[in-house]
Structure 1
Amino acid sequence: MIEFQNVSKVYPNGTRGLNQINLTINEGELVVIVGLSGAGKSTLLRSINRLHDISEGNIVINGQSITTASGSGLRRIRRGIGMIFQSFNLVKRSTVLRNVLSGRVGHHSTLRTVLGLFPAEDTALAMDALERVNIRDKAYSRADQLSGGQQQRVSIARALAQQPQIILADEPVASLDPLTTRQVMDDLQRINRELKITTIINLHFIDLAREYATRIIGLRAGEVVFDGTPAEATDDVFAHIYGRAIHRDEVLGDHPPGDDVISVIPSKPGVAAGGVQ
């Protein structure tokens, strides 16, 4: 489904965001990417739909290189990739329905979408997407009248309206409270299972990664240092990914009182179970 072939990203200031990444993400997986801030999570995710261009290598989606694609070919590939942002990226003064319909812009001419001339089939798709995330009743409300969790559900519905093969979610629950966080993650998991949409999520909370992922990829300094199942992603493995102990704010769930460190770094971080490299 998605192949990273010797992918590197070097920023203009010389910072290496990704370093020789080789990965294959299969159709229907729910992959969670973990790592410290600056480890390359967002760079990796956003390189899939070319929000970030890579410096070296190739990214292939369903047998087609998005790295070398241009014009209508690039638009066609991107049309199959839905994107969910931490900050929702909604037009706040517009209705929920209009925001969701913006997921259809890649299917129509620029003039038609600017004028808001979406066919009835698109409206039906948008309403179905809102139903899937349980906010169909908010279709004609303004986006800025919704809670943060509801706004994130609108952004999920917008991605669904694209009828994508892939959904990318960049820290989609970072600004949400614990209850709403689980509701949004439940939506993403249900969509992945029911629609078989390949889903790739950057997450901060390690317990959510274990609970929702079918596969966890750990990044450290732009390199893959773990690639395995949630069962293999032990506290020691996470400590190796982070290069330090797990902190309290990296776990969403309840934890006993004490200091901010809730896990110790393993004595031999290079040999922890579950695929640590």
Structure 2
Amino acid sequence: MIQFVNVSKVYGNGTVGLKNIHLHIKKGEFVVIVGLSGAGKSTLLRSINRLHEITEGEIFIDGKSITAAKGKELRMMRRNIGMIFQNFNLVKRSTVLRNVLSGRVGYHSTLRTIFGFPKKDIELAFQALERVNILEKAYSRADQLSGGQQQRVAIARALAQEAKIILADEPVASLDPLTTHQVMDDLKRINRELGITTVVNLHFIDLAREYATRIIGLRAGEVVFDGPVEEATDEVFAEIYGRPIAKEELLGVKG
């Protein structure tokens, strides 16, 4: 599904973001990437849809190189990749429905979206909102919603997009403990029921252990652990973080 072949990223100031990454993420996996701030988690995640361009190597999606893709081919590949951001990335003054429909933009010309979306798209948007249990908020403005509700809108947008892959970059970092688990439950349920390959960056170890089927640990841009959640012991996390794990990192938002 997603394959990294000798991928490296060096920023303009000389900072190494990724170093010789070799990974193969299978269809339907729920992968959690962990590591300290600056370890390369966001760089790795955002390189999958080319929000970050890599310096060396190649990334394949379903056997096709997204690294080499241009123009229409790149747009078509990106259409299959939904992105969920820490800060929700919604148009706050637009309705929830309109935000979800933005996931359909890649299927139409700009002129078509100006004059409204087809009935099929609107039905898809309503179905997506129902799946994340906020259908009743369809006509509310996004800025009237709580943080957790806004993140659910972002998930619904990816569903309306009919994404085959969902990338989530610290999706619960700004949420309270209860809402954190609601959002993570949504992502896990969607992964399980729809078979959507899901790759999530998380800071808290307990969440990684609870939701992941596979954990990838990054340290200074390199993969230092890649395995099933059962093998991710406290000793493994200490190696990923380069030091003993603090209680608040281990317990995370559950406290």
TMscore range, shorter length: over 0.9
Deviations 1:247-266 (A, max 9, x none): 233232556xxxxxxxxxxx
Query: 1: distance between equivalents of 2:43 and 2:21?
Result: 12
Residue matched to 1:231: 230
Query: 2: distance between equivalents of 1:55 and 1:156?
Result: 30
Residue matched to 1:88: 88
Query: 2: distance between equivalents of 1:215 and 1:172?
Result: 18
Deviation of 1:140 (Å): 0.3
Tell me: CA distance 1:116–1:138, structure 2 relative to 1, closer, same or farther (3 Å): farther
Within 5 A, what are the aligned runs for 1:225-264? 225-250=224-249, 251-252=251-252, 254=254
**Secondary structure, counterpart of 2:23 in structure 1:** strand
Structure 1 stretches of 4+ with a deviation exceeding 3 A read none
Tell me: CA distance 1:242–1:21, structure 2 relative to 1, closer, same or farther (3 Å): same
**Secondary structure, counterpart of 2:172 in structure 1:** coil
Residue matched to 1:24: 24
Tell me: CA distance 1:180–1:119, structure 2 relative to 1, closer, same or farther (3 Å): same
Residue matched to 1:208: 207
Deviations 1:202-259 (A, max 9, x none): 001100000000000000000000001111101111010000121233232556xxxx
Query: 1: distance between equivalents of 2:235 and 2:253?
Result: 18
**Secondary structure, counterpart of 2:124 in structure 1:** helix
Deviation of 1:19 (Å): 0.2
Within 5 A, what are the aligned runs for 1:10-49? 10-49=10-49
Deviation of 1:125 (Å): 0.2
Query: 1: distance between equivalents of 2:169 and 2:214?
Result: 16
Within 5 A, what are the aligned runs for 1:65-80? 65-80=65-80
Query: 2: distance between equivalents of 1:175 and 1:31?
Result: 21
Count how many residue pairs are aligned between Structure 1 and Structure 2: 254
Query: 1: distance between equivalents of 2:9 and 2:29?
Result: 24
The structure whose Rg is larger is 1
Pairing 1:58–2:39 present? no
Pairing 1:188–2:163 present? no
Within 5 A, what are the aligned runs for 1:98-247? 98-113=98-113, 115-247=114-246
Within 5 A, what are the aligned runs for 1:259-270? none
CA RMSD across the alignment: 0.9
State, as a whole percentage, how many aligned pairs show the same letter. Answer: 76
Q: What letter is aligned with 1:66? A: I
TM-score normalised by length of structure 1: 0.90
Query: 1: distance between equivalents of 2:103 and 2:203?
Result: 26
Deviation of 1:111 (Å): 1.7
Query: 2: distance between equivalents of 1:26 and 1:118?
Result: 33
Residue matched to 1:275: none
Query: 1: distance between equivalents of 2:164 and 2:248?
Result: 33
Residue matched to 1:270: none
Gaps of 5+ in 1: 256-277
Query: 2: distance between equivalents of 1:249 and 1:84?
Result: 25
Query: 2: distance between equivalents of 1:229 and 1:24?
Result: 14
TM-score normalised by length of structure 2: 0.98
**Secondary structure, counterpart of 2:252 in structure 1:** coil
Query: 1: distance between equivalents of 2:83 and 2:44?
Result: 13
Gaps of 5+ in 2: none
Tell me: CA distance 1:226–1:116, structure 2 relative to 1, closer, same or farther (3 Å): farther
